[in-house]
Amino acid sequence: MRFTIDVDARGPLFDGRAAAVTEEYARDVRDTVAEFAEEQVLRLTGSYFRRPTGYYESRVETRTESPQVARVHDSGVVYGPWLEGTGSRNYPVTRFKGYGHWSQARELTRARAGQIAQRMLPRYTSRM
């Protein structure tokens, strides 16, 4: 007994559409997670700073470093490490231990990144 099977390789997996949708999904997740991280930093600075001038907050921005990486940073503000609590002039040199707003925002972002990506996924899988 002999069988003949014909396979017709058409569709999004074979014509490149799935790869393009996957790349778009990865970019959108990267940008959405970075936006969430930036919002967390700004929210925390707003709740910690007693007399905010707005300068430090205006320097917080997101920069895309690669297709997979976006970095939220304070544009190198000289007193940024002091505010965070990692500077050379923090405790024990002075009583100020820092706010830890960056480390808190990082932990919040790590905890939510998977949920953000999962929530976005159906929009892209429906196109594959």
The mean pLDDT value for 68-79 works out to 96
CB neighbour class for 105 (10 Å; exposed up to 12, middle 13-18, buried from 19): buried
Categorize the per-residue pLDDT at 16 as very low, low, confident or very high, splitting at 50, 70 and 90. confident
Angle 43-26-42 from CA coordinates, rounded to 5° = 10
- What does the mean pLDDT of the chain come to? 92
Would you say residue 89 has pLDDT above 90?
no
Q: Is the residue at 33 inside a domain?
A: yes
> What tokens appear for 87 in the block?
């500077």
Q: pLDDT at position 18, please?
A: 87
Q: How many domains does the chain have?
A: 1
Question: pTM for the whole thing?
Answer: 0.85
Q: Look up the domain containing 16 and give its range.
A: 12-125
d(CA 52, CA 83): 12
The mean pLDDT value for 45-69 works out to 94
Q: Is the residue at 87 inside a domain?
A: yes
